[in-house]
Amino acid sequence: NTVDVDPNGYVVYCPCMGRFGNQADHFLGSLSFAHGLNRTLVLPPWVEYRTGERNSVQVPFDTYFQVAPLQDYHRVMTMEKFMKELAPVIWPPGKRTAFCYMARPGSTSEGCNAKDGNPFGPFWNTFNVDFDSSEFYGPLYYDSHRTSTAKAWHKKYPVSRYPVLAFTGAPASFPVNKEDVYLHKYLKWSKGIQSKADEFIKKNIGTDSFLGIHLRNGVDWSNACNHASDSPRLFAAPQCLGYNNEYGKVTKELCFPSEKTIISQVKKVVKKHKLGAVFVATDNDPMVQKLKKSLEKLKVKTVVTTHPSDSPHMDLAILGKADFFIGNCVSTFSAFAKRERDAKGLPSAFWAFKEQ
Ligand code: GFB
């Protein structure tokens, strides 16, 4: 039952930035990067932050997603499997180099300081990894869509000497490159998440066609949106505004839509698509009573939410199944649902953004 070693080498990385939506953007880019370099991608656990806990918690990749569909695009394996079965042979202690673009401030004056701070330390400690040296790969970059990129990486880091490239952060751009968005089609929810979402729909929505909405309205978001006017491309905004702001700039409304905007848009969509129920995913205020009241006349029987039970992945899986979706253009959490729906050919829109 031994695992064959990939003669083309491996890419390992810590999804050390942001929460789930940010990490998912980075994941697609890292998958593309590994594909471009023709190295196996080691699927890192998802990094989560729990209230009251000092250190990040690492949740195995396959808790939320199936590994097999990703293999249709490129060679991948979970980090748990890599560390247990391959690392002792091809990446043993004593030979572990951390890769970073340039020196990262930390306990040593020079180096990647790959384990300094949270989630950096807790992430690698999950696998008992300590680094022996640092390698600055700048000015190389991750854009594997340029043919010169892979060549340059192979030249500087040949597999014979560097079987494993272990990155301090994701080898990917943020937000996800336009060219990599379609890779989302290989990302399929695990059976566990899938069935939780199906059960919720069966129990609470039944067979009605439904609208799924994402209300990103917690205090962290309202703070981030205060800077909206200085950041025309804030977070996931290129998903609706275009990667060169072809369709406009981020506004306060686009980032943090008013209740008036939300209600009028929901009413319009419910009417137009003759929807019978509304599912609300939110990090803070689901507006259930307000939505119910304003939808009374439109024969909408159900307005439901999972809030406050914290189940971001189940929320996303449900949003991925709705008959129509309205999301927040600036949020990478919304972007996840939008990409999944695009891959399935399902329609979506954004708050305060007119359809193209
Ligand atoms: O996913 P995420 O990176 O998206 O971070 P943004 C937002 C987190 O908030 C999610 C929770 O991972 C969830 O834990 N959350 C948001 C939700 N919406 C929902 C929801 O509908 N249901 C549930 N259950 N949970 C960025 C951050 O968030 O916001 C950046 O990643 C930064 O690092 C910025 O903090 C202000 O792109 O929306």
CATH code where residue 296 lies? 3.40.50.11350
> What is the mean predicted confidence (pLDDT) over 96-118?
94
Q: What is the pTM of this model?
A: 0.97
One domain for residues 146 and 47 = yes
Q: Which of 178, 210, 239 is the last residue of a domain?
A: 178
In sequence order, the 6+-apart residues with CB closer than 8 A to the CB of 66 are 188, 189, 190, 191
22 in any annotated domain: yes
What pLDDT does residue 355 have? 63
Domain at 89, CATH number: 3.40.50.11340
One domain for residues 209 and 251 = yes
105 in any annotated domain: yes
One domain for residues 325 and 200 = yes
Phi/psi-derived region of residue 252, left when phi > 0, alpha when psi is between -120 and 50, beta in every other case: alpha
Rg of the chain in Å (alpha carbons)? 22
Whether 311 lines ligand 1, by a CB cut-off of 6 Å, is yes
One domain for residues 50 and 169 = yes
Q: Which of 130, 145, 178 is the last residue of a domain?
A: 178
Whether 20 lines ligand 1, by a CB cut-off of 6 Å, is yes
One domain for residues 25 and 149 = yes
3 in any annotated domain: no
The number of beta carbons lying within 10 Å of the beta carbon of residue 271 is: 13
292 in any annotated domain: yes
**Which of 106-115, 116-125, 267-276 is predicted with the least confidence, judged by mean pLDDT?**
106-115
128-151 pLDDT, tens digit per residue, is 999 999 999 999 999 878 888 999
Structural domains of the chain, count: 2
pLDDT band of residue 328 (cuts 50, 70, 90) is very high
Q: Which ligand 1 atom is nearest residue 319's CA?
A: 21
In sequence order, the 6+-apart residues with CB closer than 8 A to the CB of 314 are 193, 196, 197, 200, 306
> What is the mean predicted confidence (pLDDT) over 104-116?
91
The number of beta carbons lying within 10 Å of the beta carbon of residue 277 is: 23
What pLDDT does residue 61 have? 98
pLDDT for residue 109 is more than 80: no
Residue 345 Cα to ligand 1 midpoint, Å, equals: 24
pLDDT for residue 179 is more than 70: yes
Give the range of the structural domain holding residue 120, as residue numbers without chain letter. 10-178
225-284 pLDDT, tens digit per residue, is 998 888 888 999 999 999 999 999 999 999 999 999 999 999 999 999 999 999 999 999
5 in any annotated domain: no
Q: Which ligand 1 atom is nearest residue 22's CA?
A: 3
185 in any annotated domain: no
121 in any annotated domain: yes
One domain for residues 195 and 158 = no
308-323 pLDDT, tens digit per residue, is 998 999 999 999 999 9
One domain for residues 117 and 64 = yes
One domain for residues 207 and 97 = no
107 vs 339, which has greater pLDDT?
Answer: 339
Q: Which helix (H) or strand (E) holds 193?
A: helix 191-204
Whether 40 lines ligand 1, by a CB cut-off of 6 Å, is no
3-55 pLDDT, tens digit per residue, is 899 999 999 999 999 999 999 999 999 999 999 999 999 999 999 999 999 99
214 in any annotated domain: yes
73 vs 230, which has greater pLDDT?
Answer: 73
What pLDDT does residue 144 have? 78
pLDDT for residue 356 is more than 60: no
Q: ipTM of this complex > 0.95? A: yes
What pLDDT does residue 227 have? 87
One domain for residues 173 and 248 = no
Q: Which of 120, 155, 178 is the last residue of a domain?
A: 178
One domain for residues 19 and 160 = yes
pLDDT band of residue 1 (cuts 50, 70, 90) is low
Whether 282 lines ligand 1, by a CB cut-off of 6 Å, is yes
